[in-house]
């Protein structure tokens, strides 16, 4: 395609948008709403996943040993557990360390009443951290069968709840995004159809003169892609300001929950959200206009 034909088709695409101002605005507004919702949803999901990840990192399985288990056997148990794929970290807590930690956290002024005794003498243990909390129960089953293991403490409720909520959010998001995509494509298709109707005479002349399918179709496809681009760029700007302000507000308002509510930086979200949203908008515009133009413009 010659450069002047390229600019001509882009120019015609822009003119189409201008000619059908109201429909174009409606389309941009709908795509913008879709991308805005998508962006919000994405920000929430990403932050939730981050919170879940942090929570998961704190979920540990604790393994205690039978009385009289030798240090060698304890070390062997540690090695066997480390070999499991779902295990991210294994930390050995000796009886002394356990007692020191308990004293510091819980006994306060009563600590002297225990003298030199260590009530947790048989409570050396392994703290095991997981990559994936959903694998917790299978790991526990495995560890419980190992020789020398007395008991395994686990946090079943936290693990299953985090896993379920995470899956639920993912499914709901996918459903909503699917519906929004369908609505956007439908609207783009309507706008392009209207543009084709308005330019029916011009298209007929183009065909008679000998314009190729590409030259006839291209302005409408550009129109769809431009609408998609604008429709996705506008809400990204809005999301930027909304996100920054909401996060700032929440952090100031709920300082108590600071350790739990650790929000992601806007740049971490935008590094993926911007290209995905733009691709989504332009993609919706391309698909909607391409198939509509193909349907209505058989040369």
CB of 298 to another protein, least distance (A): 9
Closest to another protein by CB, 161 vs 198, is 198
H-type helices in the chain, by residue range? 3-19, 21-58, 71-82, 95-102, 136-144, 156-198, 200-209, 213-253, 266-296
Closest to another protein by CB, 156 vs 299, is 299
Q: Is 253 exposed, middle or buried (0-12, 13-18, 19+ CB in 10 A)?
A: exposed
Closest to another protein by CB, 181 vs 211, is 211
Q: Which of 207, 242, 264, 266 binds another protein (CB under 8 A)?
A: 207
Tokens linked to 246: 């909401």
- Cα–Cα distance for residue pair 179/281, rounded to 1 Å: 14
* Residue 299 sits in the site that holds another protein (CB under 8 A): yes
Q: Which of 67, 79, 117, 201 binds another protein (CB under 8 A)?
A: 201
Q: Which stretch binds another protein (CB under 8 A): 61-69, 149-157, 212-220, 269-277?
A: 212-220
- Cα–Cα distance for residue pair 294/299, rounded to 1 Å: 9
Q: Are 102 and 120 in contact (CB under 8 A)?
A: yes
Q: Which of 284, 296, 269 is nearest to 45 (CA)?
A: 269
* Residue 208 sits in the site that holds another protein (CB under 8 A): yes
DSSP 101-158: HHIIIIIGGGGGGGTT--TTTT--EEEEEES-GGGHHHHHHHHHTSTTEEEEE--HHH
* Residue 147 sits in the site that holds another protein (CB under 8 A): no
Tokens linked to 47: 């932050």
* Residue 209 sits in the site that holds another protein (CB under 8 A): yes
Q: Are 224 and 288 in contact (CB under 8 A)?
A: yes
* Residue 1 sits in the site that holds another protein (CB under 8 A): yes
Tokens linked to 284: 């919706």
* Residue 210 sits in the site that holds another protein (CB under 8 A): yes
**By rule CB under 8 A, what string of x and - marks binding of each residue 213-252 to another protein?**
x-xx------------------------------------
Closest to another protein by CB, 67 vs 201, is 201
* Residue 21 sits in the site that holds another protein (CB under 8 A): no
Task: Estimate to the nearest angstrom the gap between the alpha carbon of 203 and the chain centroid.
Answer: 44
Tell me, what DSSP letter sits at residue 258? G
* Residue 294 sits in the site that holds another protein (CB under 8 A): no
Q: Which of 17, 32, 140, 206 binds another protein (CB under 8 A)?
A: 206
Q: Which stretch binds another protein (CB under 8 A): 1-9, 109-117, 126-134, 267-275?
A: 1-9
Q: Which residues bind another protein (CB under 8 A)?
A: 1-2, 4-5, 8, 201-202, 204-213, 215-216, 299
């Amino acid at each position: 395609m010659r450069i002047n034909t390229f600019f001509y088709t882009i120019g015609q695409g822009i003119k189409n948008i201008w000619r059908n101002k109201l429909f174009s605005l409606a389309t941009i507004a709908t795509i913008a709403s879709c991308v805005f919702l998508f962006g919000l949803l994405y920000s929430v999901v990403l932050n939730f996943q981050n919170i879940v990840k942090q929570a998961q990192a704190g979920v540990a399985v604790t393994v205690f040993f039978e009385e009289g288990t030798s240090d060698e056997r304890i070390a062997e148990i540690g090695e066997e557990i480390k070999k499991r794929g779902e295990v991210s970290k294994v930390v050995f807590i000796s009886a002394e360390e356990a007692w020191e930690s308990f004293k510091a956290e819980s006994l306060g002024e009563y600590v002297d009443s225990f003298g030199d005794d260590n009530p947790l003498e048989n409570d050396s243990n392994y703290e095991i951290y997981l990559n994936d909390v959903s694998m917790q129960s299978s790991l526990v089953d495995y560890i419980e069968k190992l020789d020398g293991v007395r008991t395994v403490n686990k946090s079943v409720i936290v693990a299953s709840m985090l896993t379920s909520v995470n899956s639920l959010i993912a499914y709901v998001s996918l459903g909503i995004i699917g519906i929004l995509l369908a609505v956007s494509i439908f609207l783009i298709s309507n706008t392009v159809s209207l543009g084709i109707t308005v330019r029916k005479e011009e298209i007929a002349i183009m065909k008679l003169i000998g314009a190729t399918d590409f030259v006839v179709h291209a302005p409408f496809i550009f129109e769809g892609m431009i609408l998609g681009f604008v429709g996705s760029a506008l809400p990204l700007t809005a999301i930027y300001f909304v996100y920054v302000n909401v996060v700032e507000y929440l952090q100031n308002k709920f300082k108590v929950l600071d350790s739990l509510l650790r929000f992601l930086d806007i740049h971490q979200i935008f590094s993926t959200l911007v290209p995905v949203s733009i691709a989504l908008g332009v993609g919706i515009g391309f698909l909607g206009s391409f198939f509509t133009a193909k349907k209505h413009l058989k040369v």
